Structure 1
């Protein structure tokens, strides 16, 4: 453990999260006044809630000094390419910085993600169970499998689908809002139903068009984050009529959606 004196005298500070504000001000104050005194990395696509955010307001000037990383080490080419269709081709922040999503590549390949539209909740559960059984048979450990749903109330639906399977207690089941930062060899995103994604309750609460647009974008990013928790295998299921976002996910385009 470094002492306070050693920490302050460090020549460079490295931060790995672009969403910590008070902490960022602290690091900015510690870093020396030099071009390479502070290094920051983050993925704008993983920012679920789009709160107004400015680097400059926190004492960090990144204008003309930012770079978009183009190599993905966590997610297969097939999963990343499909998930990127949920996002605009270019993401922008309040400082005017742009994150160009086209041209990103993954360092490994895998099977194409699967999207299943089922007639009933029971049929969806059977499909998920069969997929998980297949992954277990291929040698994927239970702790390497994650199942995500839109809300905490739907977690029981995920647990029911894997009940009784070997190691089911080691599998992660959680709402999409808790998926950020996690990683699994195989992921199921369940209950991608109309009315659930985007969530009807949130849409109904929108007081104006701008707020509604923000809600739709947040819901889309929740799905993006959940899907990109998968390294090798990804399955999305929904009961018909399914979420409108699944149409974007399964589109034939090779990259992100066009920017608005």
Structure 2
């Protein structure tokens, strides 16, 4: 693997290609990447600088940085000012995570006392009787946003996995718009509403976001829950699913809609102490 080759090449050399290295999104570093960063930077107390958020760890299993020669114990600081997400959205999303987050080496991240620099509407949390009702509900929400002056390219819809993308497509179509399906390939929005999985939400930002299709068996993802072998593995599944949900919700700057089919995800209870269940009658067949 390329990381291993680079690590082996520079580990034995006294002269390194960089005097200092700054790394963003450090919570998603894996073992090979961290070893490489250590190898290409000279030893010293201030040659490596990491910025990250343990609450947004969604791609890597936790591991010991200290065991790899990168010891940040007693040298870390938690930033407390949020410039991207409204107070109302941040406050709701923070309920999904513990107030104190700790890594494998015992480094604590105190999430208490964080403030946002602007206010916005309270997040909307809605449950629907079936998928068709949710599709129409999100379509109506999109129409309302457009009427309020939000551009289509400033709206994003996110779902847990590829299997639920059809609901997002249907919502965009019912609202009379065209979707931009997010992928690893960079593409101009050109007036389209972005849709994608929660993993693809990482690093993005929209004025308004709907995190939809959060059904009881989809968040946390039931197939992951059923595949666990013991209690500790189950805890890890729930933790990563919460972090994934948190990441998707905090991509919203001003407006956030979270929805699912009744009974919706158990995480809804943590997101809000009491959310509104839409009283929509389902017509009986026959």
- SS of the residue corresponding to residue 191 of structure 1 reads coil
1:36 corresponds in structure 2 to 46
1:83 corresponds in structure 2 to 93
Q: Identify which of 232, 240, 244 aligns with 1:210.
A: 232
In the alignment, the residues of structure 2 paired with residue 167 and residue 155 of structure 1 have an alpha-carbon distance, to the nearest angstrom, of 14
Deviations 1:36-90 (A, max 9, x none): 2221100110002561322223321211110011111111111011001000111
Residues 59, 133 of structure 1: alpha-carbon distance in 2 compared, 3 angstrom cutoff:
same
**Which consecutive unaligned segments of at least 5 residues does structure 1 have?**
1-6, 253-260
2:200 corresponds in structure 1 to 178
- Say yes or no: does 1:190 pair with 2:200: no
TM score, norm. by length of structure 1: 0.88
Out of 232-241 and 56-65, give the one that drifted further.
56-65
1:230 corresponds in structure 2 to 252
Contact (CA 8 Å) 2:16, 2:42: kept in 1 or not?
Answer: no
Q: Identify which of 237, 241, 257 aligns with 2:263.
A: 241
Contact (CA 8 Å) 2:41, 2:48: kept in 1 or not?
Answer: yes
In the alignment, the residues of structure 1 paired with residue 236 and residue 18 of structure 2 have an alpha-carbon distance, to the nearest angstrom, of 40
- Say yes or no: does 1:15 pair with 2:35: no
In the TM superposition, what is the alpha-carbon distance from 1:166 to its structure 2 partner? 3.4
In the alignment, the residues of structure 1 paired with residue 134 and residue 89 of structure 2 have an alpha-carbon distance, to the nearest angstrom, of 21
Contact (CA 8 Å) 1:192, 1:237: kept in 2 or not?
Answer: yes
In the alignment, the residues of structure 1 paired with residue 71 and residue 243 of structure 2 have an alpha-carbon distance, to the nearest angstrom, of 27
Q: Identify which of 172, 177, 187 aligns with 1:166.
A: 177
Matched residue pairs, number? 246
Structure with greater Cα Rg: 2
- Say yes or no: does 1:128 pair with 2:117: no
- SS of the residue corresponding to residue 235 of structure 2 reads helix
Contact (CA 8 Å) 1:50, 1:218: kept in 2 or not?
Answer: no
